[in-house]
């Protein structure tokens, strides 16, 4: 998918200002030990950084992350309770 020169320049300005695009939030599945997040910016060489956003997530700790092409999977306990994290995806420009 080609993007316009204006869009490239907008993204560069945002990066210079400390803003990144591939971010979001995820709530861990209840009663399951894995949660998969779909995000087009993710690749098998990406690093996914997680931050807990509620008390349940803070007490759980940071789940194990496995990055893949277009998705990342979190491995976690299957305990009850809503656990929510914010995430940022960082992908090296040369892999």
User: Which residue in the block uniquely carries the two structure tokens 């789940």?
Assistant: 63
Domain presence at residue 58: yes
Q: What's the domain count of the chain?
A: 1
Domain presence at residue 3: no
DSSP string, 15-61: HHTT--SSEEEEEPPTT-SEEEEE-TT--TT-EEEEEE-SHHHHHH-
Give residue-wise pLDDT tens across range 17-61. Answer: 666 678 899 999 888 899 999 998 899 999 999 999 999 999 988
Domain presence at residue 84: yes
Residue 8 has pLDDT above 80, yes or no: no
Domain presence at residue 43: yes
* Cβ neighbours around 8 below 10 Å, total: 10
Domain presence at residue 4: no
The domain in which residue 54 lies consists of 22-90
Domain presence at residue 6: no
Whole-number pLDDT of residue 57: 93
Strand partners, 24: 87
Domain presence at residue 14: no
């Amino acid at each position: 998918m080609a993007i316009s020169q204006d869009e490239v320049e907008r993204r560069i300005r945002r990066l210079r200002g400390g803003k990144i695009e591939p971010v979001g939030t995820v709530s861990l599945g209840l009663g399951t030990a894995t949660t998969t997040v779909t995000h087009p910016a993710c690749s098998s060489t990406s690093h996914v950084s997680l931050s807990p956003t509620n008390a349940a997530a803070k007490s759980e700790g940071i789940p194990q992350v496995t990055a893949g092409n277009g998705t990342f999977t979190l491995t976690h306990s299957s305990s009850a309770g809503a656990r929510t994290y914010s995430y940022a995806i960082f992908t090296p420009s040369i892999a």
